Amino acid sequence: MKAKNMVKLSFYSRSVNEGFARGALAAFLAQADPTVPELADVKTAVSEAVTNCIVHAYPQGVGLVHLSVALYDEGLVRITVADKGVGIPDVEKAMQPMFTTGNPEERAGLGFAVMQSFMDKVRVTSAPGKGTRVVMSKRLASRG
């Protein structure tokens, strides 16, 4: 399936860039005329994925976060958030609600659960020392 339109962005894993990612996503998705709740859902899921990269991927410093968004026919949106950080040793365990490798007083361990609740599909692939890729998709309601 070929995308009707797509964008790719890369930015440093700094907390200030989480808002940038949300804003860039919203600006790009405007062409699909999403409803306000749909846009809020997708922005929240992307926020969680980008925040995971910022908090977990590069514990020794700053690295790149890659965001790509593609629009397909019939309102399908596919979003990929990827890094080349430390990776996740056990993806299945990491996707369990309340699991966190961060400080439990600061992190709830709900990032993947939030992504799954707002998107139709979430797929996570990771390899220790090589990074993580989160691919999320959602079909926007037809407004025509």
**Residue 45: which CATH number?**
3.30.565.10
DSSP reduced 3-state for 3: coil
How many Cα atoms are found within 13 Å in the side-chain-facing hemisphere of 132? 28
Q: How far apart are CA 134 and CA 80, in angstroms?
A: 6
Query: Could you tell me what percent of the chain has a pLDDT over 70?
Result: 84
Number of domains in the chain: 1
Judge whether 43 lies within some domain.
yes
**Mean local confidence (pLDDT), 32-54:** 94
Q: Is 103 a catalytic residue?
A: no
pLDDT at 134: 95
**Per-residue b/e over 12-34, b at no fewer than 16 CB within 10 Å?**
ebeeebbeebbebbeebbeebeb
Q: Can you give the residue range of the structural domain that contains 57?
A: 5-138
Residue tagged active-site, from 22, 107, 133, 139 = 107
Q: Is 52 a catalytic residue?
A: yes
Judge whether 35 lies within some domain.
yes
Residue tagged active-site, from 52, 74, 78, 103 = 52
Backbone angles phi, psi at 73, to 5 degrees: -60, 160
Residue tagged active-site, from 17, 18, 48, 78 = 48
Judge whether 143 lies within some domain.
no
Report the candidate in 75, 116, 65 with the shortest Cα–Cα distance to residue 95. 116
Judge whether 71 lies within some domain.
yes
Judge whether 144 lies within some domain.
no
Q: Is 107 a catalytic residue?
A: yes
pLDDT at 118: 93
DSSP reduced 3-state for 64: strand
Residues 77-132 pLDDT 10s: 999 999 999 998 876 767 665 555 555 555 545 567 888 889 999 999 999 999 99
Backbone angles phi, psi at 74, to 5 degrees: 60, 30
